[in-house]
Amino acid sequence: MTANRNLADLARSAATVPTAASDPTLGANLIINGGMTVSQRGTSFTGLGTASTFTLDRWRTTLNGSNSARYTISQETTGGPYANATWMKIACTTGSSALGANDSLFIQQKLEGNVCTSLNAVGGGSNAFVVSGRIILDADAASSITFPAKMGMYFVSVGGTNRQYVSDITIDADNTWQEFSVSVASDATAQFISGTVQGGELGFTLLAGSNRVATADTWINNAADFKTSSSDDILDASSNILGLCEVKLEVGSTATAFQHEPYGDVLAKCHRYYWHINLLAGTRWLAGCYDATNALGTHLPFPVEMRAVPTSSHTSSVFRAGHNGSIHDSTITVGFTKDRWGYMPNINPFASASQGQTYWILDNGGTTVTGDVSFSAEL
């Protein structure tokens, strides 16, 4: 069942400081970065709709099949439900057409098993829980959406018999911020894997084909369904805009007020899944001392322990090595040895060095884009 709450009825609770900012299980909200405050990869993502892409931290836009719909996602700090609110804006730039029966497109967050522990009921099955937040939908004049509108929302359990639950969020009026809550009943079968692997998944459906329709508000074995028969195509027309913020998933049947954590605490939780550093000229790694064999570096720590051994990537073609104040070896290859706790930058070859010399790695002549190195342990 979906219920909307009057904005004036809920006072925002004062922020509380966790005792361990990097602990993903801490707090009533199982969603990380539900306030949309952290966006390490950037604040604007354009030309979306051709592939699955991470955007604001922990939030991923996921595409199955293909469709003509194109859109942007941005982190906004004005125009929200109240002054200084940070929100995620999904702005359609090309409306959907020729939607295939199996096509789907949604904004999702995959939940780590450690986060989902409280969803497991004592004795088996799952506890009831509720998803809440603030939402706005501005439908273009060319859109076929009428109000009250319906946006599909789904949840999947991972573990034992995978289960799905699909519902609708009711949006009462055009271009008006409101609160929403969706209560999800307990299920005798759903179970959630514990540990560092994926335990669950929450998604908000932007569009889905005719084979992706589920019976509303009913637990069933997972069939990869993402909407109900009443769900609207949120991206049916150019200039449609969807906004989301203060997303919360909590155990129980009644939504409570969203609690804004300090930015640093949310960032530390996000660092468990993604972290990056930039080596634009002037920012350098003190990599270590050349051993005359492989130029192995020094193990450097991540800000927090990552969920798993991360993958690394970098875009620079102008990484250079240096020692004694000089930049040289323009043909070096940079690689990384990683574990969950840190990384070791490696360079090869290092023709100008002598055994025992200290060396650096830097991005010489690049930009804040080319000098970026990222480490991802996303689910």
Nearest Cα neighbor of 153 from 183, 197, 125, 175 is 183
For 42-64, the pLDDT digits (tens) are 999 999 999 999 999 999 999 99
What is the rounded CA–CA span in Å between residue 194 and residue 62?
A: 24
DSSP 3-state of 311: strand
For 174-230, the pLDDT digits (tens) are 999 999 999 999 999 999 999 999 999 999 999 999 999 999 999 999 999 999 999
For 354-369, the pLDDT digits (tens) are 666 666 777 766 666 6
* Residue 94 one-letter amino acid: T
Beta bridge pairs of residue 360: 286, 322
* pLDDT value of residue 19: 35
Q: What's the CATH code, domain 2-271?
A: 2.60.120.260
DSSP 3-state of 265: helix
* pLDDT value of residue 366: 64
The residue to which tokens 């203060």 are assigned: 246
For 80-123, the pLDDT digits (tens) are 999 999 999 999 999 998 889 999 999 999 999 999 999 999 99
* Residue 189 one-letter amino acid: T
Region at 195 (left for phi over 0; alpha for psi -120 to 50; beta for the rest): left
**pLDDT cut 90: percent of the chain above it:** 69
Q: Where are the domains of the chain?
A: 2-271, 274-376
Q: What is the DSSP annotation of 81-107?
A: SSTT--EEEEEEEE---S--TT-EEEE
What is the rounded CA–CA span in Å between residue 94 and residue 142?
A: 12
Cis? peptide before 81, omega within 30° of 0: no
Q: Is the pTM of this model over 0.75?
A: yes
CA angle 256, 258, 261 (to 5 degrees): 135
DSSP 3-state of 338: strand
Nearest Cα neighbor of 182 from 88, 83, 255 is 255
What is the rounded CA–CA span in Å between residue 207 and residue 226?
A: 9
Beta bridge pairs of residue 275: 375
* pLDDT value of residue 8: 30
The residue to which tokens 């010489």 are assigned: 364
Q: What are phi and psi of 30, to 5 degrees?
A: -80, -10
What is the rounded CA–CA span in Å between residue 169 and residue 181?
A: 8
Inter-residue contact 12 to 256 (CB < 8 Å): no
